[in-house]
Amino acid sequence: MKKTFLTILCMCSMLVLNAQHRTEVYVTDLDNESLTSKVEASLTALLSELNSAEAEKRTPRMAGINISEQAMNSIAIMWENSPFRCMESEIAESALATYGGTEYEIRNIPLIFSDLDKADQYHEVAVRFDMSGTITDFRMVIAQNLYYQVMKSNNQVTDFRRRQMILDFVEQFRTSYETKDMDFLQKVFSDDALIITGKVIKATKSEIAIPDKIEYKVQSKKEYLTNLGRVFDNNKRIRVSFDEIEVTMHPVDENFYGVTLHQGWSSDTYHDEGYLFLLWDFIDENNPQIHVRTWQPDRINGSRLPEDEIFSIGDFDI
């Protein structure tokens, strides 16, 4: 009798623990009942397993979850930086059709990264899935307000599909630094990409007050990625965040876009904030290329960098 009681007690305890770690996902606005059920089951299983793994201080177990190898690899690399969990017991989100029309995406999934500084623990991810319900991608995303700011814009970038495409690749670009995805960066930078990086040079002491200045360094794609590879090797953890975004279509060629972002960069050895500018070429929409990447510190001489000194699409010839 005592043994039976203990067995029942253990089973009840396991059920309580599983319930505590479970995140139930409900997909809305998807006109396919079978696909909806598959996605809800896969994403519920994935988030619940991540929650359990974080609580039990172990690596996630993906057996039985309908997920691609690419998505598993992304999760594994992110997990190495910091374990994470979803703090919500229920999530109800729309499924958004991607610009290619063959997949859907669920955004705004809130995660807490337990090993990061408290101010940097909250992030949102997007999960993409195909028409069979397989989870194909798991990536960090820009904040919801920034995403909708661009998607609802009625200014220069009026094509909804192209705006969605730009933001998709901006998010992939961000995630590639956090997951140290050198293959993606090799692919997305054009062979003749121009890389410009600025740093503040402090004036030497003198009787006359001389203001600080920004000194710019120009690198080729090969030089930049070689140096970046060293940064990846020397830092276990890299965090990239964007809190401002502006997208501008080229006034003559509608296939070229300038994207200006206010970027935060944090690693084991270095931290900075500044303006990142990317000149994207979408002539081949399946393989967009970055022709220009610039970075500038956001402050100089104690003040915000003047707007007319921030690189933009008008500063480069196409």
Q: Per-residue pLDDT tens for 130-165?
A: 999 999 999 988 877 788 777 776 555 457 778 888
Q: List the chain domain ranges.
A: 22-141, 158-315
CATH of 158-315, one of 3.10.450.50, 2.40.50.140, 3.40.30.10, 2.40.110.10: 3.10.450.50
**Tokens of residue 49, six digits:** 């397993």
Fold of 22-141: Nuclear Transport Factor 2; Chain: A, (3.10.450)
Helix (H), strand (E) at residue 169? helix 160-178
The answer to whether the CB of 126 falls within 8 A of the CB of 139 is: yes
Strand, coil or helix: 185 = helix
**SS3 label, residue 214:** strand
Q: Which residues pair with 267 in a beta bridge?
A: 238
Specify the pTM.
0.80
Amino acid, single-letter form, for residue 143: A
Identify whether the C-beta of residue 101 lies closer than 8 Å to the C-beta of residue 87: no
Task: Give the tens place of pLDDT for each residue, 90-114.
Answer: 999 999 888 777 899 999 899 999 8
User: Residues 45-90: pLDDT tens digits?
Assistant: 999 999 999 999 999 999 999 999 999 999 998 898 889 999 899 9
The percent of residues in the chain predicted with pLDDT above 70, rounded, is 89
